[in-house]
Amino acid sequence: MKKWPVLLAALLMLTTLPAWAGPPFLTDDPEPVDLNHFEFYEFQTLDRFSGNVMVQAPAVEFNWGALPDVQLHVIASLNYFSPISGPSAYGLGDTELGVKFRFVKEGDNDFQMGIFPLAEVSTGNAAQGLGNGLTWYKLPLWIQKNWGPWTTYGGGGYALNAAAGMRNYPFGGWLLQRDLSDQLTLGWELFAQGSDTTADQGFLLVNIGGQFNFSKDFSLLFSGGHSIVGDDQTVGYLGLYWTWGPEEKKDK
């Protein structure tokens, strides 16, 4: 019986980890998809917490530049949860819906800024560890600056989660990346999250990853990281990325 509080804490932690925001990283940026352009990701993620494993596979993300400086966003996935004790489960996970709005464009001396409110819709089976049990929300603010081959972005926000055993919590991160060539970009981030359940500590995580461009419209994304403070946690991301839209309007 002593294992149940530990198992419950691990389960709750895994089902409320932030969805992958700025693929392949946890930290996001304020830059929306260009007007009338689209992005599509097919990806897999790994989350390992104290011997428990959560995998999203297959998972898809779709983004649409619906209005100037406005992006509509959805993530859906099938999840596999393997607890350290008890039966494993596989099935539909929670669904992420969001709207990214950039309200300050980048200038020579200015950062660009945007908000990206997200709703984690409760479509997964919480009893099997595949979902949160109630829809919950994240309210972040992100900023970004580019200079030459370098890009840096980050920020943070607050999550609101009223499910049983859960807490509201702050989160934030910062990333630095560099284009090494037209094909390869590498970067690293620090990402922190406060205690999101009644039994965990929160964590500070280091994540390293990048992007390899097969063409201007098709890329491979990858990252891996581990916590350095707080809860013991390992994460990984591997995905394919496509983008398309009117060529004459593309300004990125």
In CATH, which of 2.40.160.40, 3.40.50.720, 1.25.40.80, 1.10.510.10 is domain 3-244?
2.40.160.40
State residue 251 phi and psi, 5-degree precision: -120, 0
Contact 225, 204 (CB under 8 A): no
Q: Match 């970067």 to its residue by tokens.
A: 187
Element holding 75 (H helix, E strand)? strand 70-82
Contact 168, 184 (CB under 8 A): no
| Paired sense of beta strands 136-147 and 118-121, if any | antiparallel
Q: In the prediction, which pLDDT does 84 show? A: 84
Q: In the prediction, which pLDDT does 108 show? A: 74
Q: In the prediction, which pLDDT does 18 show? A: 38
Q: Which of 148, 139, 90, 95 lies closest to 118, judged by CA? A: 139
pLDDT in tens, the chain (252 residues): 343 333 333 333 333 343 434 899 999 999 999 999 999 999 999 999 877 899 999 999 999 999 999 999 999 999 999 988 889 999 999 999 999 999 999 987 789 999 999 999 999 999 999 999 999 999 999 999 999 999 999 999 999 999 998 999 999 999 999 999 999 999 999 999 999 888 788 999 999 999 999 999 999 999 999 999 999 999 999 999 999 999 754 454
State residue 72 phi and psi, 5-degree precision: -95, 145
How many residues appear in the chain?
Answer: 252
Contacts of residue 154, Cβ cutoff 8 Å, sequence gap at least 6: 27, 142, 143, 172, 173, 174, 175, 189
Q: In the prediction, which pLDDT does 244 show? A: 97
Beta bridge partners of 130: none
Q: In the prediction, which pLDDT does 15 show? A: 37
